[in-house]
Every structure is written in structure tokens, then in C-alpha cells.
Structure 1
Amino acid sequence: MTEELLLELIDKHKAYHERYERLKKMYKHEHEILDLPKKEAYKPDNRLVVNYAKYIVDTLNGFFIGVPIKIKHDKKEINDYLEFIDKFNDQDDNNAELSKLCSIYGHAYEMIYVDEINDKAHMGITYIEPMEAFVVYDNSIVGRPMYGVRYYNSVEGKLEGSYSDKNTIYYFNENDRGEIVIGETKPHLFGDVPIYEYVENEEKLGAFEGVETLINANNKALSEKANDVEYFADAYLLILGAILNEEALNKFRDNRIINMEGRDIEKLVVEFLEKPSADETQENLIDRLEKLIFQISMVMNINDENFGTQSGIALKYKLQSMENLAKTKERKFQSGLNKRYRMIANTGLTPLKGDEWVGISTQFTRNYPANLKEESEIAKNLKGVTSDETALSVLSMVEDAKREVEKINEQYNSDDSFDFKEEADVDEE
């Protein structure tokens, strides 16, 4: 890495900012229709935004990671440490934000660092938006990371930041001549680039990016619909065959009564000017756009009035497309988690060492509507077929199945197993 190459890489990355800004604005309710040229002052000019972008992102991520990821290891010491660093870093919230950023931009980054507090070193984990960081990969078939770069503008508007390779962190800033100067360096113990990428999918497309034009078209159609309603509310009154003074016009406007007479009353015409109505066409277009937005994005419209009327397997079939989307997201997210714990193990500063990160198991739980009665019946049926821990993991109300087994064993003074409480069959005669 040289100063010239670093500046070139940052300039190339800044070329993506336009796309990032556009996607961010859509999520934050700042859609294209708000920036269109204004119409003439005498024309209705409504700018309605139906924020399907935010709805798609929040619904998908509520389904995918609304129930926090469960991380555990067979070794108690390591398991306790994993719980500690998750709480130390508010990792449930970090994971949720990281997942949301991936759904907005198509990818995002996580950075791991050593956080020294009261002379004690703790593993720090945080997420980074893709507008201020990127990873440089080699051109091998594997695409191994070579550098992780994070940059930002200082209070004076100068470029500052740092980049890391597998062993060292390099800090840089911009001088008065607009040149990048690499200054202080600091070794790290992670054994790999400590900025790593999470992706939504292989193409790095955001969750609503494929329906962006449909969302813009829906906003436009709905706004024109509102314009038509406003137009009809302010329609012109046409009077042919009579000349009215200003006083008469004011009486018509204020009293909303038309009372006219004259010798040529048969030729008198009083009516409102109306433009042709396209109400049915507009309604059909809006309905079609809404259906296509959810169909193409593969995210379920859970506010649909028919959604809650189904249960069991029928509901899961309806959510199948969103489940497929979440499965892809899960595999990509798991890859990032593997990098996180592998680098923590590389430091040698934690109970997690060497290849022990391979023993970490992660459980993603879809945020389906809970049916505790159905779940308890499944858990009972699994008793004796699977381990007690696996049987209990079916219950959405149980956060840590292993710990729950321990609690039950303590309750029944048994070190081996436990028995589910069977319902008594009552025969009524």
C-alpha cells in the first residue's frame, strides 16, 4: 500500500456514494418524487410517499433477526465468555443494525478491536456503514482480503482514517496540499484484516433495490390520484348565457346557492367544468404496483387483511418466499460471524483459542407468530427421539435450551434427564 494507491482506492469507493445516498434516502422517507420539478402554482401538486422501502427492510429483518441469534459453545468457560462479550458490546443490537444495513445497501462492514478499560483488554465489536469503509481483496479465485480501509472527514474537512492488513493498523490524514500522508502504525493480534464484510446476497443488492422503480411509480400514481381529488374539490363553475357582477359571484361562492332568471333562461347553462376521470385506471395501477412490490421483493405484506386468518402450515407456505430470502441472508451472515470469532481466537487474549471457534454453534430463529401449544406438542413428541436440549429448543419461549435442561434437572434432582409433564386424559361420561 502506498499513499497514491490509497487515495486512488478511496476515490474509487466514493464513486459508489451516489448509490448509497439514494438507497439511504429511500429508507429515510426521502423519495424521488419529493425532488421532482414543481408544477405551476394553479395546479394541485401533492407529493405522497408510501415508504415501502422501509417496510420491506424492517419486515425482513424483524423476521430474520427479530429473535436474537443464540451463540453457544460446549465448553462452559468459552460459553460464559461469549455471553460476556455479547453483553459488553450490546451485540444483539449490533447484529440487528448490521443486518439492517445489509438490507439497505446490499452489504456492510464490521470492525473488531481491542478496547482497553481500566487496564483490562476487552474485545470490541462495532458495525460500519459502507459509505465510510471498504475491503480490498486480492485477485485470486478465493478473493482473500488484503486491506480494510475506514475513512471520514475531520472537523476541518480533511480526509482522515486508518487501514489495516493482517498484522498492522496504519493511520493516515490529508495534508494542506490534498495529499495522503501515512503516519502512526500499531500492531494488532487478530491474524487477519480486522474489518470484514457482511453481504445481503452474492450480488450485494439491497432488499428493496429490485423494486425501486415500482416504489417510485406507486408514489407518482398515488400523488396524481390525490391531485385529481383536489382538482374536483376546486372545480370551476361554468355559467353561459348570463353576465354576473362581482357581488353575485361572491353570493354564489359564500351561500352555495344559484338562483338566476332572465328572458333567455332556456339558453342558460350552469355546470361545473370536469376533466375526464381515470379513477378506475388509477386504482387498478396502484393495486397492481402494490402486489408487484411485495411479489418481486419476496417480502410478505403482513398487514394484509387475509394474512392473519391462516394458521399452521398454510401460514408457513405463505411466508415461504421470505423464508428463502432469510435462508440466503443467514448463510452470508454466518460467514461474517465465523470471521469474527476466528479473529477473537487468534488474539490469545481470551478463553477462545486456536481452532476452538469451530465449536461455536449459532442458532437463527425466524420470528414466526408463536403458537406455544403447537410448539409444546412438538417438544413432547421429540422427547426420546432427540436429546432433551434439542426438544426444548423448539420452544420459542426458551432462550437457552441447555441452561433450561440444567434448571429442570436441578428441579427434579436428576442428573440424567427430565420428563415432560404429560396431560392427563380425562374421559367424560
Structure 2
Amino acid sequence: MAIAIDRELAGDIRNPSFDVINYCIEEHEKELPRLQMLFDYYDGKPHKEGKEASKTPHELDEIYVNLAKYVTDLMTGFSVGNPLSYTVPKGEDITVLTDALAKMKIAKHDIELEKGLSAMGQGLELHYLAVDEKTDETYPKVAWIDPRGMFLVVDDTVERTPLFAVRPRKKQDLTRTEYWEITVYTKNHQITYKSKNKKLEPGQLMETPKTKEHFFGDVPVVEFRNNEEKQGDYEQNLSQIDGYNLLQTDRIKDKQNFVKAMMVLYGFTLPDKKPKTMNGSIILQAPSQGGEEGAKVEYVTKTFDETQIQVLADSILDDFHKTTYVPNLNDENFAGTQSGQAMKFKLLGLLLALSVKTSYFEDGVIKRLRLIGNILTVKGQKVDTDRVNVRFKINLPFDRKDVIDQIRDSQEFVPLLVSLGWLDDVDNPQELLEMLREQQEENIERQAKLLGLQADRSHSDLEENEDDENEQGNEE
């Protein structure tokens, strides 16, 4: 999470003091138990905040249906399953920018980033320069950083201007001696400390700090948020996940207890001699006729109504899908031959949730493009990133035929340039419109050539007929 501090109290942000860095590290540590809990739910190791998850998923004593992973994976696929598109007004060229994004495999990076946002509500993106192995040239690159291992420091104004970022990492050398490497990213430099502990103190430093200049023109760290509250997509539904898994665990235990039911014997007595056994079980002689009355055998079991339990389980799942806005793909009413408009109403809650997610994701992408634009300018490849339009293509099923019919039927009162934008796989409607015009011109030319060829053939046929008539007249 971004830690807000008073700009005046921060001191020299070009080289933050140990006191400021230590204060921010302590504030960040307060958030770690919550972030760890949320990620462990996704990882299949649920536990309460502040407690450690000591078992792997297959060693859990309880049944765990990983609804958290279900929500995160679907939300990630819905929002960034289709790569983001970048467009600019006609006449401007951003090939340099799009080439840089393609080289850093930005589509894969966005998926990793969104998965962290969905699980923990926030994520960080580190910008740095990598070296091309073939050309030995540097090029911009980005990496997703777990919010548990890095934080951004901003001022406490409404602008939340980035001041610096800190990345503490616990490492060990070849002698297995543990130490902390604390890297501070300012607007112009990267300062690396090697300390015996996480708290920076002059007497704990193992070597002189290393300072390296970077050329991004700002703090090379971008914070992404899942929403205003920085909450994960299933954070408010942990009690429902726990309740559903507890119910499923009890159902399994009831089945196991039913198999291991206690046998109760009435009217039987153990023999005086050593009893006979078979496969470890004692063989008892049934009472002879006229013996003890009321002799019988039965099991002690706990009766339960499986139908009522299933109704409760379905109710919990319905509430879960309703409050997370993620559809239940196993719902029989979800599939079927429904129109595109009906599907939109069924997915209305999801679409609204995705609109919030993509809005906050776009804020981070805009900051990302500015940092990349700054470094490209330094490399002599200037590009105006402020005029770039970022577009999300929600990865949801839709009826393409229905959209095409709407475009065709709206020609009289909706400009074609606007209606072409209704297609989800069209990044630049203007470019598509120009392609349509070129295609129409080619069709007209092709038809003109065909008509001209037909006219020539008709003319030649007339000439041949006249020649034949003349020949016949001469013969006569």
C-alpha cells in the first residue's frame, strides 16, 4: 500500500533519511498480516489474519473448495484476458511505444498484475532497464512486485504525489549469512543498502551504500489499485468461503461417521471361552430359540437430511456469487440459447464491477506509459504518451451477429464511425472505416471493368453480325 507522509517531514526525498525509511517500513509491516491472509486464501491455505498457514492444501484437515481462486482467475480473465489496445488520433505515430510494450510482453505482465490486484487489492510495478543480449542495447522493462515486498511513499495531499519507493529483501550470501538488502527508488537515483537487519542504522550497515542514476524522470514504481478501498475481489466474502467449506467438511465427516457407526447388541452374551474371530471381528452365537427375549442388533448413527443440507449449500453459493458479481458457470440457467441482450442483464453486476476495476487499472497504465515515454525520449525516440487512448476489451461472450445487425440497422441515425466501435475486437474504428472505403472503391473498379469488358464483347458481337450480313448480301 502507498504510505502517505507529510512532505515537509520527509526531508530530502532525493536521499531519504534512515528515520523516514524505518518509519515507512514499520507502517508497511502493519499491513503484511492482512495481505498474507488474502494471498493464502487464493493459494489454498486459509487462515485467520495474524496466524501462519502451516499446511499445504492437500494436508488440510478440512475440505477446502477454493472459491477465492475461482473468483480471482475469472476476474483476471474477464478484465485483461484480451490484451489492452493503445490508439492515438489520426496522423500520429506511436510505433516506438507499441514496439517497446510488445518487447516487454506487456500482455502477460498485465495478467500477473491483475491477479495480484484481484487477490490482495493492490499491486506494484517496477520499471527498469534491461540489456538486449543480441544488440547489447538497453530497453525499458517492467516487473510485477508483490505488495508484501515493496511499498510506495507519497505525500499526504489530494494529489498523492510519489516521493520514493522502498523494496526490502531478506537475502543470504554463500556462507548462508542472512542480511537485508534495502533498495530505495527516488526520482533520479536508486540507492541500495546492505544491512544486518531490516532497520537501517549506521552501525548495522555491512558496506557503503551504492547509488546508481536512472533516467525515468520520476519514481520508477507505479502503484495499481483494484478499487478505492484497495480490497481484493473476495475480501468481503471470506466468511462465506469459510461457512461453505465448514458445511462441506461436516458432510464428509458425517459420511465417515456413518461408515464407522457403532454396533449395539441386545440379548447377546459373550462366551466364557475364547471367542472365535473372523477378519479381526468377534463371532457371537445368536441366542437359541426360547432364549433371551428381545435379542437384536442395530447401529448408532446420527441422522441428517441431505436434501436440507444441499439447500443450505446452494444458498451460501448463491449469496457468494451475488456479492462477488462472478457468475456461477455451473448454473443451468446461465447457459442456453439466450440473446445477447439477455446475457448482458444477467451479467450486469459483473460488468459494473469490471468498469470500476478497469478505471483504476487505467490510472496505473497512464502512469506506466509516461515513465516509458520518458525513457524513450532519453534514448532519442520521443513519443507523446499523453495523447494515447487506452482501451480495455472485456473478455466476455457476446453475440457478434446481433452487434452486426445493430450496426446495419442504425445507419440512418448513427454515424458508421460510432457504430463500428461497438465491435469488441476493433481498436481503431477510423482505420476500419478507411478499409471499408478502400474495399468499396475496389469493388466499384472491379464492377466497372466487368461492365466495360461486357460492353466490348457486345460491340464485337455486333460487328461480327454486321460482317456476316454483308457477306451474305454479296453472295446473293
Which stretch of structure 1 is more off in the superposition, 242-251 or 359-368? Answer: 242-251
Partner residue in 2 for 1:163:
184
Partner residue in 2 for 1:420:
none
Contact map agreement 1:240 1:269 (CA 8 A) in 2: yes
- The correspondence of residues 263-278 of structure 1 with structure 2, limited to 5 A, is 263-277=290-304
User: Over residues 332-386 of structure 1, what are the superposed CA-to-partner deviations in whole Å (9 max), with x where a residue is unaligned?
Assistant: 01110111112223332367747x2221111112222132211221333455766
Match of 1:297 among 324, 327, 351: 324
Partner residue in 2 for 1:250:
278
Q: 1:217 to 1:397 in 2, by over 3 A?
A: same
Partner residue in 1 for 2:241:
215
Partner residue in 2 for 1:419:
none
**Take 1:252 and 1:207, find their aligned partners in 2: how far apart are those partners?**
53
Task: Using the TM superposition, give the Cα deviation of residue 226 of structure 1 relative to its aligned residue in structure 2, in angstroms.
Answer: 0.5
**Take 2:213 and 2:410, find their aligned partners in 1: how far apart are those partners?**
51
Q: 1:275 to 1:141 in 2, by over 3 A?
A: same
1:112 equivalent to 2:127? Answer yes
- The correspondence of residues 133-172 of structure 1 with structure 2, limited to 5 A, is 133-156=150-173, 157-172=178-193
Q: 1:219 to 1:264 in 2, by over 3 A?
A: same
Task: Using the TM superposition, give the Cα deviation of residue 127 of structure 1 relative to its aligned residue in structure 2, in angstroms.
Answer: 1.4
User: Over residues 243-288 of structure 1, what are the superposed CA-to-partner deviations in whole Å (9 max), with x where a residue is unaligned?
Assistant: 2457566389699x99653433532121111124254553343222
Task: Using the TM superposition, give the Cα deviation of residue 313 of structure 1 relative to its aligned residue in structure 2, in angstroms.
Answer: 1.9
SS of match in other structure, 1:123? strand
RMSD: 3.3
Contact map agreement 1:175 1:181 (CA 8 A) in 2: no
Matched pairs, number: 408
1:349 equivalent to 2:375? Answer no
Q: 1:413 to 1:79 in 2, by over 3 A?
A: farther
- Residue 313 of structure 1 aligns with an amino acid whose one-letter code is Q
Partner residue in 2 for 1:203:
229
**Take 1:409 and 1:260, find their aligned partners in 2: how far apart are those partners?**
99
**Take 1:299 and 1:274, find their aligned partners in 2: how far apart are those partners?**
39
**Take 1:351 and 1:265, find their aligned partners in 2: how far apart are those partners?**
104
Task: Using the TM superposition, give the Cα deviation of residue 136 of structure 1 relative to its aligned residue in structure 2, in angstroms.
Answer: 0.5
User: Over residues 68-107 of structure 1, what are the superposed CA-to-partner deviations in whole Å (9 max), with x where a residue is unaligned?
Assistant: 2111223667432232122101111111111111111110
Match of 2:398 among 348, 370, 376: 370
SS of match in other structure, 1:16? helix
Task: Using the TM superposition, give the Cα deviation of residue 128 of structure 1 relative to its aligned residue in structure 2, in angstroms.
Answer: 1.1
Task: Using the TM superposition, give the Cα deviation of residue 387 of structure 1 relative to its aligned residue in structure 2, in angstroms.
Answer: 5.8
**Take 1:258 and 1:321, find their aligned partners in 2: how far apart are those partners?**
68
Which stretch of structure 1 is more off in the superposition, 159-168 or 94-103? Answer: 159-168
**Take 2:222 and 2:70, find their aligned partners in 1: how far apart are those partners?**
27
SS of match in other structure, 2:209? strand
**Take 2:171 and 2:262, find their aligned partners in 1: how far apart are those partners?**
58
**Take 2:109 and 2:292, find their aligned partners in 1: how far apart are those partners?**
77
**Take 2:308 and 2:205, find their aligned partners in 1: how far apart are those partners?**
58
Task: Using the TM superposition, give the Cα deviation of residue 399 of structure 1 relative to its aligned residue in structure 2, in angstroms.
Answer: 5.9
Partner residue in 1 for 2:95:
80
Contact map agreement 2:266 2:295 (CA 8 A) in 1: yes
**Take 2:194 and 2:53, find their aligned partners in 1: how far apart are those partners?**
39
**Take 1:258 and 1:67, find their aligned partners in 2: how far apart are those partners?**
73
Contact map agreement 2:275 2:282 (CA 8 A) in 1: no
TM-score by length of 2: 0.76
Partner residue in 2 for 1:131:
148
Task: Using the TM superposition, give the Cα deviation of residue 396 of structure 1 relative to its aligned residue in structure 2, in angstroms.
Answer: 3.7
- Residue 120 of structure 1 aligns with an amino acid whose one-letter code is E
1:307 equivalent to 2:334? Answer yes
Identity %: 24
SS of match in other structure, 1:266? coil
Which of these two proteins has the greater Rg computed from alpha carbons? 2
- The correspondence of residues 58-69 of structure 1 with structure 2, limited to 5 A, is 58-69=73-84
Q: 1:223 to 1:323 in 2, by over 3 A?
A: same
Q: 1:410 to 1:115 in 2, by over 3 A?
A: farther
User: Over residues 181-238 of structure 1, what are the superposed CA-to-partner deviations in whole Å (9 max), with x where a residue is unaligned?
Assistant: 7612222222221101000011111111100121012111110110001111121221
Match of 2:359 among 315, 324, 331: 331
Partner residue in 1 for 2:110:
95
**Take 1:225 and 1:37, find their aligned partners in 2: how far apart are those partners?**
24
SS of match in other structure, 1:130? coil
Q: Show structure 1 runs of 5+ residues with no match.
A: 39-44, 416-429
Which stretch of structure 1 is more off in the superposition, 47-56 or 380-389? Answer: 380-389
Q: 1:261 to 1:249 in 2, by over 3 A?
A: farther
Q: 1:392 to 1:349 in 2, by over 3 A?
A: farther
Contact map agreement 2:63 2:245 (CA 8 A) in 1: yes
Match of 2:25 among 6, 10, 15: 10
Q: 1:368 to 1:140 in 2, by over 3 A?
A: same
User: Over residues 390-425 of structure 1, what are the superposed CA-to-partner deviations in whole Å (9 max), with x where a residue is unaligned?
Assistant: 44443345566555455555545569xxxxxxxxxx
Partner residue in 2 for 1:288:
315
1:224 equivalent to 2:241? Answer no
**Take 1:98 and 1:11, find their aligned partners in 2: how far apart are those partners?**
25
**Take 2:307 and 2:145, find their aligned partners in 1: how far apart are those partners?**
47
Q: 1:338 to 1:219 in 2, by over 3 A?
A: same
- Residue 164 of structure 2 aligns with an amino acid whose one-letter code is Y
User: Over residues 286-314 of structure 1, what are the superposed CA-to-partner deviations in whole Å (9 max), with x where a residue is unaligned?
Assistant: 22221221122222222212101333222
SS of match in other structure, 2:183? strand
Which stretch of structure 1 is more off in the superposition, 163-172 or 71-80? Answer: 71-80
Partner residue in 1 for 2:451:
none
**Take 2:52 and 2:162, find their aligned partners in 1: how far apart are those partners?**
39
